[in-house]
Chains A and B, each alone.
Chain A
Amino acid sequence: MFDYGAYLRKDKFPLIWCSGCGDGIALKAMLRAIDRIGLSKDEIVMVSGIGCSSRLPGYVDFNTLHTTHGRAIAFATGVKMAKPELTVIVVTGDGDATAIGGNHYIHAARRNIDLTVILFNNWIYGMTGGQVSPTTPFGKRASTAPYGSTENAFNISGLAEAAGASFVARETVFRPQVLDKFIEKAIRKKGFSVVEVFTPCPTTYGRRNKMRSVIEMMNWLKDHAVPKSRAEKMDPQELEEKIITGVLVDLDLPEYTEEYQKLIDRVKS
Chain B
Amino acid sequence: MTEKTAKKKRSRIVVKREWCKNCAICVEFCPKDVLVMKDGFPEVVHIENCTLCQLCELRCPDFAIEVYEDET
- Residues of A that sit less than 8 Å from B by CB: 1, 4, 8, 13-15, 17-25, 28-29, 173-174, 176-177, 214-215, 218
Contacts and interface: CB of A to CB of B under 8 A. Distances in A.
Given A214-B23, A215-B24, A20 B61 contact: yes
Contacts of B24: 214-215
B14 to A, nearest CB: 9
Interface in B14-50: 18-19, 21-25, 28-29
Contacts of B4: none
Contacts of A174: 59
Contacts of B60: 24-25, 28
B40 to A, nearest CB: 10
| Band of interface residues on B | 20 to 34
7 contacts: A14-B18, A14-B21, A18-B21, A24-B60, A215-B24, A215-B25, A218-B28
Contact of B21 (A4, A19, A25): A19
A23 B61 CA distance: 7
A24 B62 contact: yes
B10 to A, nearest CB: 13
A15 B62 contact: yes
Contacts of B25: 20, 214-215, 218
Contacts of B67: 1
Contact of B63 (A4, A18, A215): A4
Contacts of B59: 25, 173-174, 176, 218
A40 B22 CA distance: 33
Nearest to B14: A1
Contact of B61 (A1, A21, A177): A21
